[in-house]
Chains A and B, each alone.
Chain A
Amino acid sequence: EIVLTQSPGTLSLSPGERATLSCRASQSFSSSYLAWYQQKPGQAPRLLIYGASSRATGIPDRFSGSGSGTDFTLTISRLEPEDFAVYYCQQFGGSPRTFGQGTKLEIK
């Protein structure tokens, strides 16, 4: 089983700042199978990034993904008020298709 560990657990930043979220895997897998999601309270998760670095339809270009092997990063270049939410990574490189435990991005 591929275990995904996200860090930090909580990130406190101000609008306009840059956010860097990490997702580290217990074993290497193809970056084609790494996705990032945003979840706001009371809503289903929304796909942001697939294939580690491709933005999903309608996702602003301030969101970017990078990484390979076991280390992946989601970067939000300039935080907007609507970006404060919980972010999850998920891998589809093996079964079970595990999620990270999430990073809560909160307003400082």
Chain B
Amino acid sequence: QVQLQESGPGLVKPSGTLSLTCAVSGGSISSSNSWWSWVRQPPGRGLEWIGDIHPSGTTNYNPSLKSRVTISLDKSQNQFSLKLSSVTAADTAVYYCRAYTGYTSFDPWGQGTLVTVSS
């Protein structure tokens, strides 16, 4: 079964760039039916969809973050990445990577990683 694992710095300075990677095992990131996505959850709050990417290269982003977000695929490493620029304390959250088709039971999630924005 597909498993996802996030990695990256747990602390980012204000105005800096948050960079996370999600390693995929047990399946190929090139699967044509799947979207690869990032979701975040500020402490004590609900889930916020950040964006997703298809193996074709098509991306979708949350309009509230679109100017600061880039999601990319690395097919050679079977992983995908998130970059969020110009971060503030409001970007402090647990960040999850996940995959889905949107209409089947394929919907694995990573365990999540806490990223704190602080000087």
A-B contact count (CB 8 A): 58
Decide: B104 and A50 in contact? CB cutoff 8 A: yes
Interfacial chain A residues near B110, Cβ < 8 Å: 44
B74: Cβ under 8 A from any A Cβ: no
Could you tell me the distance between the alpha carbons of A54 and B61 in the complex, rounded to whole angstroms?
Answer: 27
Per-residue CB contact flags for chain A residues 80-108 toward chain B (1 = under 8 Å, else 0) read: 00000000101010011111111000000
Interfacial chain A residues near B105, Cβ < 8 Å: 47, 50, 54, 56-57
| Cross-chain contact of B109 among A44, A88, A95, A96 (Cβ < 8 A) | A44
A32: Cβ under 8 A from any B Cβ: yes
Interfacial chain B residues near A17, Cβ < 8 Å: none
Q: How large is the interface on A (under 10, 10 to 19, 20 to 34, 35 or more residues)?
A: 20 to 34
A69: Cβ under 8 A from any B Cβ: no
Stretch at the interface among B9-17, B22-30, B78-86, B95-103: B95-103
State which residues 52-79 of B face A: CB under 8 Å: 52, 60-63
A35: Cβ under 8 A from any B Cβ: yes
Decide: B103 and A96 in contact? CB cutoff 8 A: no
Decide: B102 and A92 in contact? CB cutoff 8 A: yes
Decide: A1 and B111 in contact? CB cutoff 8 A: no
State which residues 21-56 of B face A: CB under 8 Å: 37, 46-49, 51-52
Q: Which residues of B are in contact with A by a Cβ distance under 8 Å? A: 37, 46-49, 51-52, 60-63, 96, 98, 100, 102-105, 107, 109-112
- Known A47-B105, A56-B107; further 16 A-B contacts with Cβ < 8 A: A37-B47, A39-B47, A44-B110, A45-B109, A50-B104, A57-B105, A88-B46, A92-B103, A96-B49, A96-B62, A96-B63, A97-B37, A97-B49, A97-B102, A99-B48, A101-B46
